[in-house]
């Protein structure tokens, strides 16, 4: 029989596993929120240091919610909020069969730029929820957990984000 996983975050192996599982998500969450990578990494460290300090009180199953609670309560006033800069993946399957005309290409590039700019101009709340879904492929349920709000509220935020993005993109024309 396999040895049961020791439910103790103070255990270096368990702690590392928690880090492997959630560090990137926390990092990205903070990046979407404030657009500052340095700050995002600092937040990850702060959250995990708090977890280590409380490792006796936090069982493995509660580690995730503990981390996000701590992360949401961090006050990192010393960092400047910046604009969220995003990169498009260079190799993506093309949209439809063979629409790669130069015109189409140009139009696509233009739209991509508009989309990025629109995302930058979203409210912090809408942008965070939207990008967690689009980039990190988190379900609404998970996003609700991370943000500490209800699933219904996430749905509303996503809806508003979409509407707001469309508005901004169309206004750029």
**Residues near other proteins (CB under 8 A):** 16, 19-20, 23-24, 27-28, 31, 37, 40-41, 44-45, 48-49, 52-53, 86-89, 92, 95, 111-112, 115, 119, 130-131, 133-136, 139-140, 154-156, 158-159, 162-163, 165-166, 169-170
In the complex, what is the shortest distance from the CB of residue 163 to other proteins, in angstroms, rounded to a whole number?
7
In the complex, what is the shortest distance from the CB of residue 96 to other proteins, in angstroms, rounded to a whole number?
10
In the complex, what is the shortest distance from the CB of residue 71 to other proteins, in angstroms, rounded to a whole number?
14
* Nearest residue to 64 via CA among 160, 168, 148: 148
* Distances from the Cα of 14 to the Cα of 2, 6, 50, 80, 91, angstroms: 16, 8, 15, 34, 36
Q: How far apart are CA 152 and CA 8, in angstroms?
A: 34
Name which of 27 and 64 has its Cβ closer to other proteins: 27
DSSP string across 120-165 = HTS-HHHHHHHHHHHTS---HHHHHHHHTS-HHHHHHHHHHHHHHH
In the complex, what is the shortest distance from the CB of residue 56 to other proteins, in angstroms, rounded to a whole number?
12
Name which of 3 and 147 has its Cβ closer to other proteins: 147
Helix (H, G, I), strand (E, B) or coil at 56: coil
In the complex, what is the shortest distance from the CB of residue 65 to other proteins, in angstroms, rounded to a whole number?
20
């Amino acid at each position: 029989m396999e040895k049961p996983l020791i439910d103790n975050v103070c255990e270096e192996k368990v702690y590392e596993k928690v880090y492997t599982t959630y560090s990137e998500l926390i990092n990205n969450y903070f990046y979407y929120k404030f657009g500052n990578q340095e700050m995002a990494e600092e937040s990850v460290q702060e959250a995990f240091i708090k977890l280590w300090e409380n490792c006796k009180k936090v069982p493995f199953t509660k580690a995730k919610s503990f981390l996000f609670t701590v992360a949401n309560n961090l006050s990192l006033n010393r960092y400047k909020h910046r604009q969220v800069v995003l990169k498009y993946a260079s190799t993506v399957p093309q949209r439809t069969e063979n629409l790669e005309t130069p015109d189409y290409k140009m139009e696509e590039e233009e739209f991509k730029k508009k989309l990025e700019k629109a995302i930058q101009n979203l409210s912090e709340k809408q942008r965070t929820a939207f990008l967690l879904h689009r980039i990190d492929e988190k379900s609404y349920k998970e996003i609700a957990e991370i943000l500490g709000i209800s699933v219904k509220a996430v749905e509303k935020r996503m809806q508003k984000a979409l509407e707001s993005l469309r508005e901004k993109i169309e206004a750029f024309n």
